[in-house]
């Protein structure tokens, strides 16, 4: 499974307000610099992120410091990769989000997933995003550390209870 959509009650204007002010920093994890330049808001955005009321509706366990906004600059990517430090992410598109691409082990395009609503993405599978627009591509994301099938089971169970 490469992804599944989730129903989440959130206010896109609240998210846009957060990304519209305050500094971003270059994404640099343990000295490993992504070939495609990304910027992120994590520490500085922490207080804002903490105040986002819809986080209480997220059905998965996560830590506050695994919540972030990330930005890919105009005309960057795609860079095909697997994430090395997390299994999945719950992501919400904010602006200029083209489809998420999944690839097989020969790096051939396998699936192209339109990205216009909240989605849980399997980052252990080869994937890439690109920004072919002239504007920044901005998303909100929460890193998750369980395999996608486990997260789907959790989500299905909660959806059944709430139905």
Distances in Å between the Cα of 79 and the Cα atoms of 22, 42, 76 are 27, 22, 9
Beta strands across the sheet bearing 88-95:
3-5, 119-122, 88-95, 137-144, 67-72, 38-41, 25-26
Residue closer to Fe ion by CB (options 20, 32) is 32
Among candidates 59, 26, 51, which has minimal Cα distance to 40?
Answer: 26
Chain positions 85 to 104 lying near Fe ion, rule: CB under 5 A, are none
Q: Which stretch binds Fe ion (CB under 5 A): 59-67, 82-90, 109-117, 138-146?
A: 82-90
Residue closer to Fe ion by CB (options 56, 137) is 137
Q: Least distance in Å: CB of 129 to Fe ion? A: 8
Residue closer to Fe ion by CB (options 82, 117) is 82
Q: Please tell me whether residue 83 binds Fe ion under the rule CB under 5 A.
A: yes
Q: Please tell me whether residue 136 binds Fe ion under the rule CB under 5 A.
A: no
Q: Which stretch binds Fe ion (CB under 5 A): 29-37, 49-57, 83-91, 138-146?
A: 83-91
Q: Least distance in Å: CB of 154 to Fe ion? A: 22
User: Which tokens hold the place of 102?
Assistant: 């999944």
Q: Please tell me whether residue 124 binds Fe ion under the rule CB under 5 A.
A: no
Q: Whole-angstrom Cα distance, residue 62 to residue 57? A: 12
Q: Whole-angstrom Cα distance, residue 131 to residue 151? A: 28
Q: Least distance in Å: CB of 123 to Fe ion? A: 5
Q: Whole-angstrom Cα distance, residue 69 to residue 14? A: 13
Q: Least distance in Å: CB of 66 to Fe ion? A: 14
Contact residues: Fe ion, CB under 5 A: 83
């Amino acid at each position: 499974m490469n992804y599944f959509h989730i129903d989440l009650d959130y206010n896109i204007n609240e998210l846009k307000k957060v990304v519209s002010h305050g500094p971003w920093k270059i994404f640099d994890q343990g000295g490993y610099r992504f070939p495609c330049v990304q910027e992120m808001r994590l520490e500085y955005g922490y207080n804002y992120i903490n105040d986002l009321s819809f986080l209480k509706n997220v059905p998965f366990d996560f830590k506050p410091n695994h919540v972030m906004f990330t930005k890919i600059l105009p005309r960057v990517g795609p860079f095909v990769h697997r994430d090395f430090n997390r299994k999945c992410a719950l992501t919400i598109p904010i602006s200029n989000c083209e489809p998420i691409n999944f690839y097989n082990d020969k790096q051939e395009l396998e699936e192209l997933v339109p990205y216009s609503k909240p989605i849980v993405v399997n980052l252990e599978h080869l994937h890439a995003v690109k920004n072919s627009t002239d504007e920044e591509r901005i998303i909100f994301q929460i890193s998750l550390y369980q395999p996608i099938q486990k997260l789907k089971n959790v989500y299905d169970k909660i959806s059944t209870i709430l139905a």
